[in-house]
Every structure is written in C-alpha cells, then in structure tokens.
A and B are shown apart, each in its own frame.
Chain A
Amino acid sequence: EVQLVESGGHLVQPGGSLSLSCTASGFTFSLYWMNWVRQTPGKGLEWVASMDQEGSEKYYLDSVKGRFTISRDNAKNSLLLQMNSLRVEDTAVYYCTRVDWGSSDYWGQGTLVSVSS
C-alpha cells in the first residue's frame, strides 16, 4: 500500500525557516517524480514544487523561488522541503504527493505550517 507521511509542520515567525519531510513507503520511491502541494482556505490548492527521480529537474511556484528548496534522499525514501524567509501567506497545509501519469496520484495526510508573529 502506498503511504506518504509528512512531518515538520510548525508555528514559525515571519522570516523564519522550517524543514518539511515526507517518508514514502509501499512503492519504489526512486522511480517517481514527487511534488509538494499546499492548501489554504482562501486560495484553495496550490502546487508548490516538483522534482524528478534523480534531482536533475526541479520546478517551483514563482512566489517560493529562491526561498524554498525541494530535495530527496532515494536511499531513505524521503522527500524534503526546506522553507526559508517564510511569509504569512505561506501558511497552509502542505501535502507531499507522488506523480504518475502527469499528476498527483497519491497524497499524504498533510502537515500544517503556520507563519505568524
């Protein structure tokens, strides 16, 4: 059974940093692109970042470019999102998703990031 478990969500002050991780199981992690997608009550679902199997291709939402970094450790079946210079508008539930056939076929349960002073 495919499972994606996110962790690392927290309350952080504006300008602060946070690292999210996602542990995958139930499939061969190294064969798939992976995504981070976030959700807020106000803006709905928003794609954040994508990464290919080896880390040679990475794509980011414009508003997080230069602040967020997606990475992965295929040996540990884990996906990471390093978030720096956090803003209030980054407050959201962050989901780790697997990509298959051009979209996210499996989603984790999400981890809540709150950016507030």
Chain B
Amino acid sequence: DVVMTQSPLSLPVTLGQPASISCRSSQSLAHRDGKIYMTWFQQRPGQSPRRLIYQVSKRDSGVPDRFSGSGSDTDFTLKISWVETDDVAVYYCMQGSHWPWTFGRGTKVEIK
C-alpha cells in the first residue's frame, strides 16, 4: 500500500501568516493514465471532510484562492497564503492513483 506521510502533524500559525503542509508518498503517484490523483481535504471540528484540491493543484468550486496545491511524483504541498480563523481544521492528503486509496494522518492547523 502507498504510505502518505504528512508533516507537520500540528501547525500553530499566526493569523494573516502563511502556512504550508507537506505530504510525501512512498511511491510515485503517477497513474497509468498520466494523471496524478493527489487530493487535499479540510475537516473542521464536528464536520465531514471537504475537498479543497484535487489532481495536485486543481481547486474545488468555492475554495478560496488562498489555498493552493503543488508537487509531483512523491512530494506534494498544500499552501495557505494567509491563514484566517475559518482555516482552523485538520488537513488530510490522500492518493487515489493506486488501490487501496490511502490518506495521510492529518495536520492540525490552529491559531497561535
């Protein structure tokens, strides 16, 4: 199975400052169709996960452009250009390029 290693697991951030979360996969996420199925989710307290980014860098409808995804092969990053109070949540990476789909352990973003 592909192991998704997220870091850091906890990220205290000052309001208005940027934040960056890393996710590394144990093998290349290049699918045989040429795409990379790397996804980022946000889970606010008490809510279901919400997809933010799919296929590495494509933002879902309604997601602020403060959120961006990048990376290739085995190294991926979610960046928040400036953190707002609404961004307090746990963020998960997930790969869907290989069965079984696997998630990272999550990064808890909190305000300092």
Chain A residue contacts of B100, Cβ below 8 A: 47, 59, 61-62
In this complex, how many residues of chain B approach chain A with their Cβ under 8 Å: the count is 25
Contact present for A102 and B51 (CB under 8 Å) = no
Q: Which residues of B contact A104 (CB under 8 A)?
A: 39, 41, 49, 51
Answer whether residue B66 sits at the interface, using C-beta atoms and an 8 A cutoff: no
Closest residue to A93 on the B side, CB-wise? B48
Known: A45-B92, A47-B103, A59-B99. A105 touches B51 (CB 8 A): yes
Q: A45-B49, A45-B92 are in contact. Are A101 and B55 (CB under 8 A)?
A: yes
| B101 at interface by CB-CB < 8 Å | yes
> Given the complex, which residues of B lie within 8 Å of A101, measured CB to CB?
54-55, 58
Q: How far is the CB of A76 from chain B (nearest CB, A)?
A: 23
Which residues on the A side are within 8 Å of B50 (C-beta)?
Answer: 107
Task: Report the Cα distance A85→B79, complex, angstroms.
Answer: 42
The residues of B that contact A47 with a CB separation of less than 8 Å are: 94, 100-103
User: Is residue B96 within 8 Å, beta carbon to beta carbon, of the partner chain?
Assistant: yes
A45-101: which residues lie under 8 A (CB-CB) from chain B? Answer: 45-47, 50, 59, 61-62, 95, 101
Q: Verify A110–B51 contact, CB threshold 8 A.
A: no
Q: Which residue of A lies closest to B33 (CB)?
A: A102
Among B41, B49, B58, B106, chain A packs the most CB atoms within 10 A around the CB of: B49
Q: How far is the CB of A112 from chain B (nearest CB, A)?
A: 13
Q: A47-B94, A102-B39, A107-B48 are in contact. List 19 more A-B contacts (CB 8 A).
A: A44-B104, A45-B41, A45-B92, A45-B94, A45-B103, A47-B101, A101-B54, A101-B55, A101-B58, A102-B96, A102-B97, A103-B51, A103-B54, A103-B94, A103-B101, A104-B49, A104-B51, A108-B48, A110-B48
| A residues whose Cβ falls under 8 Å from a Cβ of B | 35, 44-47, 50, 59, 61-62, 95, 101-110
Sample 8 A-B pairs with CB under 8 A, ordered by A number. Answer: A35-B101, A44-B105, A45-B106, A47-B103, A102-B35, A102-B96, A104-B39, A107-B49
